[in-house]
Amino acid sequence: MQDKMQDKNKTQVLTKARTGLEHLIKTAGKSLTVAGTSVARRDDPLKVTGKLKYGADYPDEGFLYGKILRSPHPHALIKSINTKKAKELEGVVAVLTAEDVPGRNGFGAIIPDQPVICGDKVRFIGDGVALVAAESEKIAHEALKLIEVDYEPLPALFDPRDAMAEGAPKIHESGNLLSDDKMVKGDVDAGFAEADVILERTYQVPFLEHAYLEPDTTMARLQPDGVMLVEGPMQAPFTTRRNVAPVLGIPINQVRVRQIHMGGGFGGKEDSPIDIGCRAAVLAWHTGRPVKISLEREEITIQTAKRHPMIMELKVGAKKDGTLTAFQGVIYDEQGAYASLGPKIPPAGGSHVHAMVMMPGPYEIPNVKVDAYLVYTNHPYGGAMRGFGAPQVHIAHEQMMDELAAELGISAVDIRRKNAFKLGSATATGQVLNQSVGLRETLEACAERFDWDRRLAECGWVDQAKTKRRGVGVAMGWYRTSIGTNGDGCGAAVHVHEDGSVLLYSGITEMGQGAFTVLPQICAEELGIEPGDVRIVQPDTDLVPESGPTVGSRSTTLMGNAIILAARQVKESLLDTASMMLMVPTERLEARGRKIYDRENPGKSLGFAAVAARTMASGKRMIGQGWWTPPPPSLDGHTGQGSPYHVYTYSTHMVQLVVDVETGEVALEDYVAAFDVGKAINPKALEGQIEGGVAMGLGYALMEEVVLDHGVTQNPSLQGYLIPTMLDVPDIQPLILEVPNEMGPYGAKGIGEMPNIPATPAILNAIAHASGGRVSRLPADPEKVFWAIREAGGPPQA
Amino acid sequence: MSTMELSFKLNGRALTLNVAPDTLMVDLLREDLGLTGTKAGCREGECGACTILVDGTPMNSCLMPALKVQGREITTIEGLEKADGSLEVLQEAFMGEGASQCGFCTPGMILTATALLKQNPDPDEGEIRQALSGVLCRCTGYRKIVQAVKAAAKARA
Amino acid sequence: MALPFEKLHWYSKLEVADYLVPTSLPQALDMLAAHGGRARVIAGGTDVIPELRSRKLAVSALVDVSRLPDMNAIESDGADILIGGGVTHAQAAASPLIQDKAGLLATGCGWVGSPQIRNVATLAGNLVSGQPAADASVPLLALDAEVTIASAEGLRVVPLSEFFQGVGKTVLDSSREILTSIRFKALGAKQGSAYLRLGKRKAMTLPMLVCAVVATAGQDGRSIQSAAIALGPVAPVPFRERSAEQFVAGKPATPETLAQAAETATAQCTPRDSLLRGSCDYRTEMVKVFVRRGLAAALTQAGCTIG
Residues of A in contact with B79 (CB under 8 A): none
Q: Name the strand (E) or helix (H) holding B23.
A: none
Residue B21 touches partner C, C-beta closer than 8 Å: yes
CATH number of B113's domain? 1.10.150.120
User: Is the bond into C233 cis (omega within 30 degrees of 0)?
Assistant: yes
Does the CB of A180 have a partner CB in chain B at under 8 Å?
A: no
* CATH number for the domain formed by residue range(s) A310-484+635-791: 3.30.365.10
Q: What is the CA radius of gyration of chain C?
A: 20
Alpha-carbon distance of A393 to A386, in angstroms, equals 13
Query: At A6, which amino acid appears?
Result: Q
- What pLDDT is stored for residue A7 in this prediction? 37
In a domain, B54, yes or no: yes
Q: Tell me, what amino acid is at A513?
A: Q
Residue of A nearest to B99 (CA): A688
Give residue C267's pLDDT.
Answer: 83
Report how far Cα A26 is from the mean position of its chain's Cα atoms. 27
One domain, residues B18 and B45: yes
Do B70 and B31 belong together in one domain?
Answer: yes
Among partner residues A126, A296, A726, which is closest to C12 by beta-carbon distance? A296
Nearest to A676 by CA among A758, A604, A614, A776: A758
Q: Would the pLDDT of C198 be above 90?
A: yes
Q: Which residues of B touch C15 (CB under 8 A)?
A: 22
Q: What is the DSSP string of A333-388?
A: EEEESS-TT-S-BTBTBSHHHHHHHHTT-SB--SEEEEEEEEEE-SSPPB---TTT
Same domain? B38 vs B93: no
Model pLDDT, residue A30: 57
Angle at Cα C203 formed by Cα C202 and Cα C207, nearest 5°? 85
Nearest-CA residue of chain B relative to C14? B22
Do the Cβ atoms of A731 and B143 come within 8 Å? yes
Task: Name chain C's partners: 3 or more CB pairs within 8 A.
Answer: A, B
pLDDT value, residue A15: 36
Q: Which of B79, B103, B126 is the C-terminal boundary of a domain?
A: B79
Radius of gyration of chain A (CA): 27
Amino acid at C116: Q
- Residue of A2, A49, A509, A698 to mutate when probing chain B, most B C-beta within 10 A: A49
Give yes or no for a contact between A56 and A295, defined as CB atoms under 8 angstroms apart.
Answer: no
Strands (E), chain B: 4-10, 13-19, 51-54, 57-60, 73-75
C-alpha distance from A48 to closest chain B C-alpha (Å): 6
Q: Which residues pair with C71 in a beta bridge?
A: none
- Cβ contacts of residue A516 below 8 Å, gap of 6+? A41, A42, A43, A510, A536
Picking from A767, A759, A776, the residue whose alpha carbon sits closest to that of residue A796 is: A767
Beta-bridge partner residues of A68: A131
Q: Is the pLDDT of residue A38 over 50?
A: yes
Residue C151, Cβ density class (10 Å: 0-12 exposed, 13-18 middle, ≥19 buried) = middle
Q: How many domains does chain B have?
A: 2
What sign results for the dihedral spanned by CA atoms C20, C22, C26, C27?
Answer: negative
Average pLDDT for A136-165 = 98
* Per-residue pLDDT tens over the stretch A302-350: 999 999 999 999 999 999 999 999 999 999 999 999 999 999 999 999 9
What's the mean pLDDT when you consider all of chain A? Answer: 95
Instruction: Give the domain-ending residue among B53, B79, B105.
Output: B79
Query: Which among A7, A48, A513, A700 is the top mutation candidate for probing chain B, defined by the most B β-carbons within 10 Å of its own β-carbon?
Result: A48
Same domain, B69 and B120: no
The per-residue pLDDT for C132 is 82
Average the pLDDT over A351-359 and give the result: 98
Note whether B148 and B93 are same-domain residues.
Answer: yes
Percent of chain C surpassing pLDDT 90: 93
Task: Tell me B69's DSSP state.
Answer: G
* Chains with ≥3 CB–CB distances under 8 Å to B: A, C
In chain A, which residue's Cα lies nearest the Cα of C10? A296
Q: A649 pLDDT exceeds 70? A: yes
**B112 and B58 housed in the same domain:** no
Mean pLDDT over A623-635 rounds to 96
Q: Is cis: bond before A347, omega within 30 of 0?
A: yes
Asked whether the predicted pLDDT for residue A28 surpasses 50, the reply is no
Chain B residues within an 8 Å CB radius of C64: 65, 67-68
Q: Which chains touch A (3 or more CB pairs under 8 A)?
A: B, C
Per-residue burial over C217-253, b = 16 or more CB atoms within 10 Å of its CB, e = otherwise: bbeeeebbbebbbbbbbbbbbbbbbeebbebbeebeb
What DSSP element (H or E) covers A221? strand A217-222
Q: Which pLDDT belongs to residue A33?
A: 85
Q: Domain limits of chain A? A: 32-54+489-628, 62-154+220-303, 310-484+635-791
pLDDT at A483 over 90: yes
Separation between Cα atoms, residue A363 and residue C245, nearest integer Å: 58
Fold of the domain spanning C191-301: Enolase-like; domain 1 (3.30.390)
Separation between Cα atoms, residue C101 and residue C81, nearest integer Å: 8
Q: What share of chain B is helix, strand, coil (3-state, %, to 5)?
A: 40, 15, 45
Q: A64: which DSSP letter?
A: E
Q: Check residue A301 and report its DSSP letter.
A: H
Contact C200 A782 (CB under 8 A): yes
Q: Which of C5, C198, C208 sits opposite A145 (nearest CB)?
A: C5
| Range of lowest pLDDT (A25-34, A503-512, A723-732, A733-742) | A25-34
Query: Which residue from B1, B60, B131 is facing C17, i.e. has the nearest CB?
Result: B1
* Domain covering A62-154+220-303: architecture: Alpha-Beta Complex (3.90)
Q: A251-310 pLDDT, tens per residue?
A: 999 999 999 999 999 999 999 999 999 999 999 999 999 999 999 999 999 999 999 999
Count Cβ–Cβ pairs < 8 Å, chain A vs chain C.
Answer: 80
Strand residue runs (E) in chain C = 18-20, 39-42, 61-64, 74-76, 80-84, 146-151, 154-159, 164-166, 169-170, 178-185, 191-198, 209-217, 224-232, 239-240
- The verdict on B54 and B95 lying in the same domain is no
pLDDT surpasses 70 at A5: no
Q: Which amino acid is at C124?
A: A
Which pLDDT tens digit goes with each residue over B118-150? 999 999 999 999 999 999 999 999 999 999 999
Q: Are strands A666-676 and A647-660 parallel, antiparallel or unpaired?
A: antiparallel
Which candidate from A215, A514, A692 shows the least CB-CB separation from B141? Answer: A692
Question: What CATH number belongs to C16-67?
Answer: 3.30.43.10
Q: Is pLDDT above 70 for A14?
A: no
Question: A32-54+489-628 and A310-484+635-791: same fold?
Answer: yes
- Residue A299 and residue A286 in contact, taking contact as beta carbons nearer than 8 Å: no
User: Is residue B84, in this structure, part of any structural domain at all?
Assistant: no
Provide the pLDDT confidence category of residue A2 given band limits of 50, 70 and 90: very low
For the residues A224-229, what does the mean pLDDT come to? 96
Over residues A743-772, mean pLDDT: 96
What residues does B54 pair with on adjacent strands?
A: B57, B74
Q: Is A56 on the interface with B (CB under 8 A)?
A: yes
Question: What are the strands, taking DSSP E only, across C177-248?
Answer: 178-185, 191-198, 209-217, 224-232, 239-240
Can you give the residue range of the structural domain that contains B95?
A: 89-156
Does domain C74-185 correspond to CATH entry 1.10.3980.10?
no
Nearest residue of B to residue C203, measured between CA atoms: B133
Q: Do both B63 and B114 map to the same domain?
A: no
Low-confidence ranges of chain B (pLDDT < 70): 1
DSSP A106-131: -B-SSS--B-SS-SSEE-STT-EEEE
Query: CB–CB of B138 and A59 under 8 A?
Result: no
Identify from B24, B112, B133, B143 which residue to disrupt to test chain A contact, counting A C-beta atoms within 10 A and taking the largest count: B143
What pLDDT, on a 0 to 100 scale, did the predictor assign at position A60? 80
Q: What percent of chain C clears pLDDT 70, i.e. is strictly above it?
A: 100
Are the beta carbons of A707 and C204 separated by less than 8 Å?
A: no
pLDDT in tens, C244-297: 999 999 999 999 999 999 999 988 888 889 988 899 999 999 999 999 999 999
pLDDT for A234 equals: 98
One-letter identity of residue A771 = S
CATH (domain of B52): 3.10.20.30
Compute the count of residue pairs across chains B and C with CB atoms less than 8 Å apart.
90
Nearest CA in chain B to C202: B133
The pLDDT assigned to A235 comes to 97
Check CB contact under 8 Å for C50 and B44: yes
| Closest CA relative to residue C146, chosen from C94, C207, C79, C81 | C81
Cβ atoms of C204 and C114 within 8 Å: the answer is yes
What's the mean pLDDT when you consider all of chain C? Answer: 96
CB A86 within 8 A of CB A95: yes
CATH architecture of A32-54+489-628: 2-Layer Sandwich (3.30)
